[in-house]
A and B are shown apart, each in its own frame.
Chain A
């Protein structure tokens, strides 16, 4: 009987010190710098996008030029082959790059978890791509993947393969996927590494006594204990990959043709090149809902499967 317990407990006195009144707004003063930033740079743009999604607006005509057009933008999106093409490319990009990054990150994390000479240096090296400037990454890969003189094709030449990479509509997206995986594996491995160090040692000892094989230990102990980490990585990588923009803008500008026009680049083109800000906002809103659904599905898929559940 929780209520009885509470009733029997001595009353907690919240006497105020004489002459001092509680002032709730003082707290707001302390968080004001951050709060103002969030309001100005996150909340207002977010609300603006939702509002603009129901308008026809070109920015140049100013606020007076905003024309509300109901759900016209969403009807147009449903009929827009460019939008669906961009969605398809984005899905391919996400579905291929995210699992690859996670699997390779896990393998690397497990490898780096062993007592290797120079382990700290190796970790730093693998993590480096994650913190290097996107322009430097783009320019480096652009040179490496030059179809005629790039190092990658000189190596592949030995196998008789000569991909066109960024100069081919068939190879440009795979090239971007390679770059995304290369950039993300180090980060994943580091997260996995910290999760591996929290793995329940006593279970491994018990498994050793039972004579379990390495694979059995991985399947029954390691993997379930890493599940929350994997879900966290999947969610963040899915969101990141869905928004992938920097490298595309820098290297391919959505081309050749429209072979790398992912949804975020299509949104940028529509807004900032064609000045269709209302339509671009609607694309943004639809994309947001799509990514949210994908994230929730990923989240739900793991419930009850973790070692800790």
Chain B
């Protein structure tokens, strides 16, 4: 994350409180190259004391390869951090019973509505809804120039929660909700209520969803707080509508939120300054994360007031760009069930398999059942291969 999006201010506040410590924040972009640079830096003895891990695949690898200090004793001894020992809704990465990484951010998913188009279409803003209602709403909102939704929320995740890819020592893709997710997505694309996947791939839209939302190419947008920064920056991202919030839809009465606890902070076990590193980690977790709100990062432990969240995440004129009632209801007052994966065997391989087969399915080239069976085959192979490795 760029220093200007929050980390720089966290560092400043820490140094003001602990003048005896000096902190340098270095950004490694969270992509293949950036992660590789960080891995080699950690291996090569570069002076890194504290670092962040965003990708789940890298999390397991670093924790399992001796690149993460054991924080169990510190967490256990600190009443403020007891919540990190929770395994029902985990906020930490626990490797063989030892706490190796702590989530700094809470990233709940929600569905955004373009208020101008919603009112034109005469659609109710849902307070709670099912996946079928999501589909019918998308249909109502589809016009000659605006597609109803970008895509369907992750049906299997909502139904199954954390570690949904795994079933014992095999993959869980035989579970019907996975095929349902592929099928619903494909049907919505076919009937014009979800964005055509040919366009998504041809324009590399996945990384720039906000642009198409702001230019009203699609309406419903299932997303997370980090994308809110585009919605109040009228200079860079001009638009003339307010945005309203709805919770993620439910699936068969199941209500896991698609979001998770994330942005894991870790300490390099080779750090000769463990006490300073721990002081920084604890500061970030318990009192210092407020500046991260401007990057759309809600602190994992809370500890911020509603007003701080509003001004931090929604800019200087929140009423101008956001429907505040729905924001309060969906983001401030709700307590969604976040699903954080802690089982990460073969995670990068499975991620790729899901993406590849989903693309083929949503392009209309492969039947959802056939596509999900191929994911299952590839995932089973990846799990077997990785569990064999030392």
A residues with CB within 8 A of B: 56, 58-62, 65, 67, 142, 145-148, 150, 164-170, 254-258, 269, 272-275
Contacts and interface: CB of A to CB of B under 8 A. Distances in A.
Given A59-B43, A60-B43, A167 B202 contact: yes
Contacts of A168: 198, 363, 365
Among A146, A257, A269, max chain B CB count under 10 A is at: A257
Given A62-B43, A275-B348, A164 B363 contact: yes
B308 interface: no
Contacts of A150: 202
Complex A-B, nearest 3 residue pairs according to Cβ-Cβ distance, in ascending order: A167-B198, A61-B65, A167-B201
B32 A273 contact: yes
Interface string B332-355: 000000000000000011001001
Nearest to B55: A273
Nearest to B361: A257
Contact of B201 (A58, A59, A256): A256
A120 to B, nearest CB: 37
B348 A273 contact: yes
B68 to A, nearest CB: 10
Given A256-B360, A257-B357, A148 B198 contact: yes
Nearest to B200: A167
A85 to B, nearest CB: 12
B81 interface: no
A272 B356 CA distance: 17
Interface of B: 32-33, 36, 39-40, 42-43, 57, 61-62, 65-67, 196-204, 348-349, 352, 355-357, 359-360, 363, 365-366, 389-390
B201 A255 contact: yes
A11 to B, nearest CB: 58
A251 B379 CA distance: 25
Q: Tell me what chain B mostly uses at the interface: helix, strand, loop, or mixed.
A: helix
A274 B58 CA distance: 9
Nearest to B202: A167
Nearest to B351: A273
Nearest to B389: A56
A273 B371 CA distance: 22
B335 to A, nearest CB: 35
Given A147-B199, A269-B352, A273-B57, 12 more contacts: A59-B40, A60-B42, A62-B65, A142-B204, A147-B198, A164-B363, A165-B202, A167-B197, A169-B363, A256-B365, A257-B366, A275-B57
Given A255-B356, A257-B356, A257-B359, A60 B201 contact: no
10 contacts: A56-B389, A59-B36, A142-B202, A147-B202, A167-B197, A168-B198, A169-B360, A255-B355, A272-B33, A275-B61
B201 A65 contact: no
B372 to A, nearest CB: 14
Contacts of A274: 348-349
A257 B65 contact: no
Among A145, A148, A150, A170, max chain B CB count under 10 A is at: A148
A17 to B, nearest CB: 49
A256 B61 contact: no
Contacts of A145: 202
Nearest to B197: A167
Contacts of B61: 58, 60, 275
Contact of B39 (A59, A165, A167, A256): A59
A274 B389 CA distance: 13
Contacts of A257: 356-357, 359-360, 365-366
B202 A60 contact: no
Among A56, A256, A272, A275, max chain B CB count under 10 A is at: A256
Contact of B202 (A56, A59, A166, A170): A166
B198 A65 contact: no
A168 B197 CA distance: 10
Nearest to B349: A274
B198 A67 contact: no
Contacts of B352: 269, 273
Contact of A272 (B32, B197, B389): B32
Contacts of A258: 356
Contacts of A254: 356
Contact of A255 (B65, B198, B359, B389): B359
Contacts of A58: 61, 65
Contact of B65 (A60, A146, A148): A60
B58 to A, nearest CB: 8
Nearest to A172: B201
Contacts of A256: 201, 356, 359-360, 363, 365
B43 to A, nearest CB: 5
A60 B198 contact: no
Contacts of A169: 360, 363, 365
A62 to B, nearest CB: 5
A148 B205 CA distance: 14
Contacts of B389: 56
Among B201, B352, B365, B366, max chain A CB count under 10 A is at: B201
Contacts of A164: 198, 202, 363
Contact of A60 (B67, B204, B359, B390): B67
Contact of B363 (A59, A61, A167): A167
A272 B36 contact: yes
Contacts of B66: 61-62
Contacts of A275: 57, 61, 348
Contacts of B363: 164, 167-169, 256
A60 B58 CA distance: 9
